[in-house]
Amino acid sequence: MKKTKKIGIMGGTFNPIHFGHLLLGETAYEQFSLDEVLFMPTKNPYYKKLTNSVTEEDRMQMVQLAIRDNSHFTFSGEELDREGTTYTVETLTNLTERNPDCAYYFIMGADSLYHIESWKDTEKVLQMAVILVAGRGDLSSSLSSQIEYIENKYDASIHFLNSPSLEISSNDIRRRIRAGESIRYLLPREVEEYIYEHKLYIM
């Protein structure tokens, strides 16, 4: 079937979602003429333990608040709705089976590309999605070499995402909250209000 829609997938724990995530999604949408970007919180990533005090509902609410004023950003509960450990290959398989007319563009940071061979069914992931890689700053020779290596080994389609670099991390936001420091201008105001209203990340 001819692929008629180009859909970006912006996955992550979003614990909490911040302007870096949103800027990445917007850059992918614009640079690759996507029809839509799915913001997809992960349930149980195999690589990361989530903060115990923050629920799936909290992460879902924060993502929905962050993207609600952008008509081409859509919340997806695809991974939250599944039980067990979350694997990208299963997500892409499910999406492709349900929407055979869609071409998927998986947005990731450079760190993920360096570890992609440790993912479950790496080759299948790379067959089902175009990979958009966000580097920090300019395209380094190291990242360029990794892109070339993965493309050649797996016959993959990988592109560099030319996004402005925002040095914001969810980990630093959580640290700032615990320390009583300001998180203003690091994430949308609605998300900041939700965090304080629900007393998230204070422990």
Tell me the pLDDT tens digit for each residue of 39-90.
999 986 655 566 657 999 999 999 999 999 999 999 999 999 988 888 999 9
Residue 70 pLDDT: 98
Q: What's the mean pLDDT when you consider all of the chain?
A: 92
Provide the β-strand partners of residue 103. 6
- Per-residue pLDDT tens over the stretch 93-102: 999 999 999 9
pTM above 0.95, yes or no: no
Helix 56-67, helix 19-31: angle, nearest 10: 50
Residue 46 pLDDT: 57
| Total Cβ atoms within 10 A of residue 8 | 27
Residue 135 pLDDT: 74
Residue 3 pLDDT: 78
| Sign (positive or negative) of CA dihedral 179, 190, 23, 86 | positive
